[in-house]
Amino acid sequence: MAYSVNSVPIRLTAERWYHIVENHDDVAGHYDDVLQTVEEPDLVVRGYKGALIAVRGAGRKEYFCVVYREINRDDGFIISAYFTSEINRRQIVWPSNH
């Protein structure tokens, strides 16, 4: 379990972890990084259909992304995790610049 930047508890079930590493084998061995990225992201961007994407730098021009959804103030869950070289900075929701 991790807490998002909005203090919402975010679950990572065994079933979901299996699904993530089955589809993104480069994420295997990064379980703790998934939780840490949700709790301590460099930024959070808006995803599709209400999802949020926590982003942390993972080396030179590489980012570790964790897709999650906050259902309400007391519950949320992780959808996916992956490494990427590009992020959409136009959709940043945290930290807020306002």
Domain 2-86 has CATH 3.10.450: yes
pLDDT, residue 97, reads 65
Residue-by-residue DSSP string for 18-82: HHHHHH-GGGTT-HHHHHHHHHS-SEEEE-STT-EEEEEE-STT-EEEEEEEEEETTEEEEEEEE
Instruction: Mark residue 13 as left, alpha or beta (left: phi above 0; alpha: psi -120 to 50; beta: remaining).
Output: beta
Q: pLDDT per residue over 72-97, tens digit each?
A: 999 999 999 999 999 988 899 999 76
* Contact in structure between 54 and 13 (CB atoms under 8 Å): no
Question: What is the model's pTM?
Answer: 0.94
Give yes or no for residue 98 having a pLDDT over 60. Answer: no
- Tell me the C-alpha distance between 86 and 89, whole Å: 9
Q: pLDDT per residue over 14-59, tens digit each?
A: 999 999 999 999 999 999 999 999 999 999 999 999 999 999 999 8
